[in-house]
Structure 1
Amino acid sequence: MTIRPLPDTLVNQIAAGEVVERPASVVKELVENALDAGGTRIDIDLEEGGVRLIRIRDNGGGMPGDELPLAVSRHATSKIASLDDLEGVATLGFRGEALPSIASVSRFSISSRRTDDDHGHVLEIDGGRVGDVVPTAHPEGTTVEVRDLFFNVPARRKFLRAERTELGHIEDWLRQLALARPDVELRVSHNGKVSRRWKGESDLLSGMRLHEALGEAFRDAALRVDHAAAGLRLHGWIAQPAYNRASTDQQYLFVNGRAVRDRSVAHAVRQAYADVLFHGRHPAYVLFLELDPRRVDVNVHPAKHEVRFRDVRLIHDFVYRTLHEALAGTRAGTPSGAGVMPADNGPAPSPASPGIGGMTSASGYMPQAPLGLQVAETRAGYAALYGGLPAQATHDASTVAGPPQALPDSGDATLPPLGYALAQLHGIYILAQTAEGLVVVDMHAAHERIGYEKLKCAHDGEGLRTQPLLVPSSLAVSEREADVAEREAATLAELGFEVTRSGPQSLALRSVPALLAHGDVEALLRDVLADLREHGESRRVAAARDELLATMACHGAVRANRRLTLPEMNALLREMEATERSGQCNHGRPTWARFSLPEIDRWFLRGR
Structure 2
Amino acid sequence: MPIRPLPEILINQIAAGEVVERPASVVKELVENALDAGARRIDIDLEEGGIRLIRIRDDGGGIAPEELPLAVARHATSKIASLDDLEAVATLGFRGEALPSIASVSRFSLASRRAGDAHGSALQVEGGRLGEVTPKQQAPGTTVEVRELFYNVPARRKFLRAERTELGHIEEWLRSLALARPDVELRVSHNGKPTRRYKGDETEHAARLGETLGDEFARNSLRVDHAAAGLRLQGWIAQPSYSRASADQQYLYVNGRSVRDRNIAHAVKLAYQDVLFHGRQPAYVLFLEIDPTRVDVNVHPAKHEVRFRDSRLVHDFVYRALHEALAETRAGATPAQPGSYAPPTAAPFANGQAAPAWMPTRQAPLGLGVAEAPAAYAALYAPSAGSPSIEAPAWSPAPLPETGEAGVPPLGYAIAQLHGIYILAENAEGLIVVDMHAAHERIGYEKLKAAHDGIGVRSQPLLVPINLAVAEREADVAEREGETLAALGFEVVRSGPQSLSVRSVPALLAHAEPEALLRDVLTDLREHGESRRVAAARDELLSTMACHGAVRANRKLTVAEMNALLREMEVTERSGQCNHGRPTWAHFSLPEIDRWFLRGR
Normalised by the length of structure 1, the TM-score is 0.93
Q: Shift of residue 366 of structure 1?
A: 5.4
The corresponding residue for 1:453 is: 446
The corresponding residue for 1:114 is: 114
1:288-345 Cα deviation digits (max 9, x unpaired): 0000001000000111100000111100000000000000011111112511123255
Q: Shift of residue 414 of structure 1?
A: 1.9
Q: Are the aligned partners of 1:237 and 1:339 in contact in 2 as well (CA < 8 Å)?
A: yes
* 1:365 and 2:364 matched: no
Cα distance in 2 for partners of 1:369, 1:84 equals: 62
1:545-601 Cα deviation digits (max 9, x unpaired): 000000000000000000000000000000000100000000000000111111111
SS of residue matched to 1:543: helix
Instruction: Check 1:508–1:481 CA distance in 2 against 1; reply closer, same or farther (3 A cut).
Output: same
The corresponding residue for 1:585 is: 578
* 1:444 and 2:437 matched: yes
Instruction: Check 1:605–1:410 CA distance in 2 against 1; reply closer, same or farther (3 A cut).
Output: farther
Q: Shift of residue 64 of structure 1?
A: 0.7
User: Counterpart of 2:25 in structure 1: which amino acid?
Assistant: S
The equivalences for 1:299-448 within 5 A come to 299-336=298-335, 338-343=338-343, 346=346, 364-365=359-360, 373=368, 375=370, 384=379, 409-411=403-405, 413-448=406-441
The corresponding residue for 2:217 is: 218
1:266-291 Cα deviation digits (max 9, x unpaired): 00001000110011111000000000
Q: Shift of residue 206 of structure 1?
A: 5.0
Q: Are the aligned partners of 1:329 and 1:342 in contact in 2 as well (CA < 8 Å)?
A: no
The corresponding residue for 1:278 is: 277
SS of residue matched to 2:10: helix
Q: Percent identity?
A: 75
What count of residue pairs does the alignment treat as equivalent? 593
Q: How much is the aligned-residue C-alpha RMSD, in angstroms?
A: 2.6
The corresponding residue for 2:260 is: 261
Q: Are the aligned partners of 1:331 and 1:581 in contact in 2 as well (CA < 8 Å)?
A: yes
The corresponding residue for 1:512 is: 505
The corresponding residue for 1:192 is: 192
Q: Are the aligned partners of 2:272 and 2:282 in contact in 1 as well (CA < 8 Å)?
A: yes
- In structure 1, stretches of 5+ residues that fail to align are 354-358
User: Counterpart of 1:60 in structure 2: which amino acid?
Assistant: G
SS of residue matched to 1:24: helix
SS of residue matched to 1:570: helix
The corresponding residue for 2:386 is: none
1:182-227 Cα deviation digits (max 9, x unpaired): 11000000000000000113334553x2112111111110100001
Cα distance in 2 for partners of 1:301, 1:370 equals: 56
Instruction: Check 1:371–1:540 CA distance in 2 against 1; reply closer, same or farther (3 A cut).
Output: closer
Q: Are the aligned partners of 1:330 and 1:342 in contact in 2 as well (CA < 8 Å)?
A: no
The corresponding residue for 1:533 is: 526
Normalised by the length of structure 2, the TM-score is 0.94
User: Counterpart of 1:563 in structure 2: which amino acid?
Assistant: K
SS of residue matched to 1:201: coil
Cα distance in 2 for partners of 1:529, 1:65 equals: 58
Q: Are the aligned partners of 1:368 and 1:567 in contact in 2 as well (CA < 8 Å)?
A: no
The corresponding residue for 1:177 is: 177
Cα distance in 2 for partners of 1:606, 1:270 equals: 44
Instruction: Check 1:459–1:516 CA distance in 2 against 1; reply closer, same or farther (3 A cut).
Output: same
Q: Shift of residue 394 of structure 1?
A: 9.1
Q: Are the aligned partners of 1:349 and 1:362 in contact in 2 as well (CA < 8 Å)?
A: no
Q: Indicate which of 482, 506, 518 corresponds to 1:489.
A: 482
Cα distance in 1 for partners of 2:433, 2:239 equals: 18
Q: Are the aligned partners of 1:346 and 1:578 in contact in 2 as well (CA < 8 Å)?
A: no
1:70-122 Cα deviation digits (max 9, x unpaired): 00000000000000000000000000000000000000000000000001100
User: Counterpart of 1:420 in structure 2: which amino acid?
Assistant: Y
SS of residue matched to 1:588: coil
Q: Are the aligned partners of 1:377 and 1:455 in contact in 2 as well (CA < 8 Å)?
A: no
Q: Are the aligned partners of 1:124 and 1:131 in contact in 2 as well (CA < 8 Å)?
A: yes
Q: Are the aligned partners of 2:368 and 2:394 in contact in 1 as well (CA < 8 Å)?
A: no
SS of residue matched to 1:501: strand
Instruction: Check 1:179–1:368 CA distance in 2 against 1; reply closer, same or farther (3 A cut).
Output: closer
User: Counterpart of 1:365 in structure 2: which amino acid?
Assistant: P
User: Counterpart of 1:263 in structure 2: which amino acid?
Assistant: R
The corresponding residue for 1:160 is: 160
Cα distance in 2 for partners of 1:78, 1:369 equals: 67
SS of residue matched to 1:470: strand
Instruction: Check 1:533–1:349 CA distance in 2 against 1; reply closer, same or farther (3 A cut).
Output: farther
Cα distance in 1 for partners of 2:531, 2:365 equals: 40
The corresponding residue for 2:227 is: 228
Instruction: Check 1:120–1:428 CA distance in 2 against 1; reply closer, same or farther (3 A cut).
Output: same
The corresponding residue for 1:64 is: 64
- In structure 2, stretches of 5+ residues that fail to align are 383-388
Cα distance in 2 for partners of 1:338, 1:360 equals: 24
Q: Are the aligned partners of 1:372 and 1:568 in contact in 2 as well (CA < 8 Å)?
A: no
Cα distance in 2 for partners of 1:162, 1:519 equals: 51
Instruction: Check 1:607–1:511 CA distance in 2 against 1; reply closer, same or farther (3 A cut).
Output: same
SS of residue matched to 2:243: coil
1:6-62 Cα deviation digits (max 9, x unpaired): 110000000000000000000000000000000010000000000000000000000
1:433-464 Cα deviation digits (max 9, x unpaired): 10111111100000000000000000001111
Q: Indicate which of 553, 567, 584 corresponds to 1:574.
A: 567
The corresponding residue for 1:356 is: none
Instruction: Check 1:351–1:516 CA distance in 2 against 1; reply closer, same or farther (3 A cut).
Output: farther
